[in-house]
Amino acid sequence: MGNTANHLSLCVSQSSRKTRRERPYVSRPFWQYQYENHLNISTHMSSDSQIREISPRRLLPIMNVDILNVYRDCPFCLKLLFEPTSTLCGHTFCLLCMERFILTSERVLQCPICRDDLNYLRSSSSHLKTNAILHNLFRQQYEKEYEIRRIETENERKQIIKKRFIIGNTHQLLSCDYDYTRHEWTLFVKLNNDDQDDISQYIKQVTINLHPTFTPSQVILDKSPFCLTRIGWGVFTIYFTIEFHPQWKKSDFRTSWFLSFANTGNQKRIEIEFQKPTDDINNDEMS
C-alpha cells in the first residue's frame, strides 16, 4: 500500500515538474500560479513582453466569499463595515464607529476585541484611514448594502457637531524662597480659540477634584468662564467631570489634568462630539 501511495505521489510530482519545465522561467510570487489555474489564463510574459495584469474585478470570483461574510460586520454597529479602518492590533471597524469610540471613551482606550492599547489614537485620530482595498472590495461585493451604509453614514455625520475644547493650566511663580516655593495656577476648560461659540451653550458645570490638602477639595463651576485659580507649592493630577446641558443628551465627560509648572503652563486639546438637537436637524432638512 505504502508503495502505491509513493508511486502516485511520484507520478504527480513528475508530471508537475514536466509542466513546469515546459514553461519559460519567470520569477514571480507563488500565488500567481493559483490565480492562473482558477482563471484559466496565463500570466506569463507575452511575446510582446507586456505583463498581463489581473484586474480586481476578475479576482473577486475566486476569492472565498465565506471569508468576506465572516469579517463583513463591524464589531461596534454590527452592520456592514463602511469605510473600514484597521487599528495597529489588526482589528477592523467602520471609520465613523471608531471615531465615536475614541471620542466617548474615558481614560484608557483599548481595542474592544483584544484589549490592545489604542491610546495612540487619542492624541491624533488622523492615524485612522479608510482601507482602500477593503472599501472597494465591500463596495463591489455588497453593492446595494454598501450604498445604504453610505447614505446612513452621511446622514449620521450631518447630525454631529464636533467641538474642540482646550484643557490646561496657566502658571506663575510667585516666590522661590529657600524652604517655600509658591506657584499660582489657573485651571481652565475653554473652547478652541477659533471657535466663536459660547462655551456655556454646551457645558452646564464642571466639578473639579483637587488634592485633599486643599479646602474645599471639590469645587463646582456652574458658569463660564470655567476657570479655577489656586496657590500651591506642588503639582498633582486634577480629576474633573464636565456636565453638559440636557438638550445634548450626553453623558458626563470625565478627564484629568496633571498640573504644569513649566513656564506659563501647558494645555491639551480634546474633541467632543455633540448630536444636533432634533429641531436643528429638521430646520436643516427644510432649508
Q: Which is nearer to Zn ion, 77 or 189 (CB)?
A: 77
- Exactly one of 94, 187, 238, 242 binds Zn ion (CB under 5 A); which one? 94
Q: How many residues bind Zn ion (CB under 5 A)?
A: 11
Stretch that binds Zn ion, among 45-53, 88-96, 208-216, 218-226 (CB under 5 A): 88-96
The one segment of 62-70, 82-90, 232-240, 261-269 that binds Zn ion by CB under 5 A: 82-90
| 148 belongs to the binding site for Zn ion (CB under 5 A) | no
Q: Does 88 bind Zn ion (CB under 5 A)?
A: no
**Cell 507586456 belongs to which residue?**
50
> Applying CB under 5 A, which of residues 26, 45, 114, 148 lies at the interface with Zn ion?
114
Q: Does 214 bind Zn ion (CB under 5 A)?
A: no
Strand partners, 190: 166
Applying CB under 5 A, does 113 fall inside the site for Zn ion?
Answer: yes
Report yes or no: 111 and 105 within 8 Å, Cβ to Cβ: no
Using the rule CB under 5 A, which residue among 12, 89, 132, 231 binds Zn ion? 89
Looking at residue 53, the DSSP 8-state letter turns out to be P
Q: Which residues pair with 256 in a beta bridge?
A: 239
Q: Does position 91 bind Zn ion by CB under 5 A? A: yes
Q: Among 35, 54, 105, 116, which residue sits at the site for Zn ion (rule: CB under 5 A)? A: 116
Helix or strand or coil: residue 54?
A: coil
Judged by beta carbon, residue 113 or residue 173, the one nearer Zn ion is 113
Q: Is 44 exposed, middle or buried (0-12, 13-18, 19+ CB in 10 A)?
A: middle
User: CB-based contacts of 160: which residues, under 8 Å, 6+ apart?
Assistant: 273, 274, 275, 276
| Binding segment toward Zn ion, per CB under 5 A, in 86-94, 210-218, 224-232, 271-279 | 86-94
Smallest gap from Cβ 249 to Zn ion, in A, equals 20
Q: Which grid cell sits at 229?
A: 485659580
Per-residue cell: 73: 460586520
Residue 108 contacts Zn ion per CB under 5 A:
no
Give the CB-side neighbour count of residue 170, counting CA atoms within 13 A: 9
In angstroms, give the least distance from the CB of 235 to Zn ion. Answer: 34
Sign of the C-alpha dihedral computed for residues 274, 278, 281 and 283 taken in this order: negative
Site pattern 60..79 for Zn ion (x: CB under 5 A): --------------x-xx--
**Phi–psi pair at 202, nearest 5 degrees:** -105, -50
Closest CA to 206 of 181, 229, 177, 239: 239
**Where along the sequence are the contacts to Zn ion (CB under 5 A)?**
74, 76-77, 89, 91, 94, 97, 111, 113-114, 116
